[in-house]
Amino acid sequence: MSTLFDKLGGSAGVELAVDKFYDRVLSDDRIKHFFDGVDMKRQRAHQRAFLTYAFGGASHYNGRHLREAHQQLVKERGLSREHFNAVAEDLIATLQEMGVSQDLIDEVAAVVAAPQNQQDVLNQ
Ligand code: HEM
């Protein structure tokens, strides 16, 4: 059975999506400030992890890892639901721009914006 990863074009598709998603997030005034001072190595790790997850390459994130990765952003920089939604929106817009079908986009969105993820990222 082909995975979402395959349907999105395998590693070439993911590479393209990573670049486009990155450009979009870093030019989005609603959220780009969260990445100020984040070193590029971590930024790339974040992106890869995020999109691997979004594309079904990882069945889930360790909730503790997600909580810890964002804890400071929540406590000290006010990371909240609106920012979470903005990131999800940028991912969807990226996939739309790439010509991904709405059915696949719906699948991706359901995975990424799952309530458990929101709770973990937002430390709720
Ligand atoms: C489903 C949603 C999300 C997932 C799956 C996710 C995933 C991750 C992961 C796995 C890391 C750790 C990377 C590592 O340590 O190697 C991370 C870090 C980070 N995330 Fe997210 N993230 C999500 C939402 C967000 C949102 C909404 C924002 C801000 C608008 C954000 C901003 C960041 C930043 C700035 C870091 C780096 C923190 C640091 O270096 O101290 N993330 N994310």
Q: Which residue has the tokens 């889930």?
A: 60
What pLDDT was estimated at residue 102? 93
What pLDDT was estimated at residue 59? 62
Enumerate residues lining ligand 1, CB below 6 A.
Answer: 31, 34-35, 38, 42, 45-46, 49-50, 53, 61, 66, 69-70, 73, 79, 83-84, 87, 112, 117, 121
Range 4-121: architecture per CATH: Orthogonal Bundle (1.10)
What pLDDT was estimated at residue 36? 92
Instruction: Locate 60 and state its tokens.
Output: 């889930």
Determine which residue's CA is closest to atom 16 belonging to ligand 1: 45
ipTM: 0.94
Report the distance separating Cα 88 and Cα 82, nearest Å. 10
What pLDDT was estimated at residue 2? 73
Mean pLDDT of successive 10-residue stretches along the chain, which has 124 residues: 77 86 95 92 85 74 83 96 96 93 90 88 95
What pLDDT was estimated at residue 55? 79
CA 92 → CA 27, 39, 88, 112, 114, distances in Å? 15, 25, 6, 10, 14
Minimum-distance ligand 1 atom for the alpha carbon of 25: 30
pTM of the prediction?
0.91
